[in-house]
Amino acid sequence: MEWMVWTTPTTVFFAVIAAMLAGMTAWEVISPTVERKGFLPISTTRGDRLFIGLLSAAYIHLVVVGFTPLSIWLALGASVLWLLVLMRWG
């Protein structure tokens, strides 16, 4: 694994992603998702909303890091907030 040059932040990042996938699977087993339509233009399942949330979070981070002097923690906060909104009402 040495050649993969792990760092603490990236380890945490992938651990969180893995935990999310595991959590979503467990949630799906306990209570299967129902496809529904929220404020997004397409009807989505829970997994779809998570994916949309994560993808937009990546873009939010890129914009904040690349084009604003703001802290990356602000981007993270905004992304988490957006993810929660999306999961609940998307």
Partner 1 sequence: MSDSLPTTPDAVRQRAAAADNRRRRKARPASRQWRRRGLMTAYIVFVLLPIYWLLNMSFQSNTEILGGLTLWPESFTLEHYAKILTESSWYMGYVNSITYVLMNMLISIAVALPAAYAFSRYKFIGDKHLFFWLLTNLMAPPAVFLLPYFQLYYTVGLFDTHVAVALAHCLFNIPLAVWILEGFMSGVPKEIDETAFIDGYSFPKFFVKIFIPMISSGIGVTLFFLFMFSWVELLLASTLTSTGAQPIASVMTQTKGASGIDWGALAAAGTLTILPGIVVVYFVRNHIAKGFALGRT
Partner 2 sequence: MNKVYNNRAWWLILPMLLLVAFSAVIPLMTVVNYSVQDVFDANTRFFTGTEWFKEMLNDPALQAAVLRQFAFSLTVLAIEVPLGIGIALIMPKKGWQASAVLILVTMPLLIPWNVVGSIWQIFTRGDIGLMGWSLRELGYGYNITASPVDAWATIILMDVWHWTPLIALLCFSGLRSIPDAYYQAARIDRASKWAVFRYIQLPKLTNVLVIGVLLRFMHSFMIYAEPFVLTGGGPGSSTTFLSQSLTTMAIGQQDLGPSAAFSLIYFLIILLVTWVFYTAIMNMQKDDNNQEA
Residue 18 in contact with partner 2, rule: CB under 8 A: no
Which of 4, 90, 30 shows the shortest CA–CA distance to 55? 90
In the chain, which ranges are E strands?
Answer: none
Q: Give the interface segment with partner 1, choosing from 8-16, 46-54, 64-72, 75-83 (CB under 8 A).
A: 46-54
Q: Look at the alpha carbons of 73, 74, 75, 79 in this order and tell me if their dihedral is positive or negative.
A: positive
Q: What is the C-alpha to C-alpha distance for residues 45 and 90, in angstroms, rounded to an integer?
A: 9
Of the residues 16, 20, 21, 62, which one makes contact with partner 2 according to CB under 8 A? 62
Decide if 74 contacts 64 (C-beta within 8 A): yes
Considering the complex, state which of residue 25 and residue 89 has its C-beta at the smaller distance from partner 2: 25
Considering the complex, state which of residue 7 and residue 31 has its C-beta at the smaller distance from partner 2: 7
Q: What residue ranges bind partner 2 (CB under 8 A)?
A: 2-7, 9-10, 13-14, 42, 51, 55, 58-59, 62, 65-67, 72
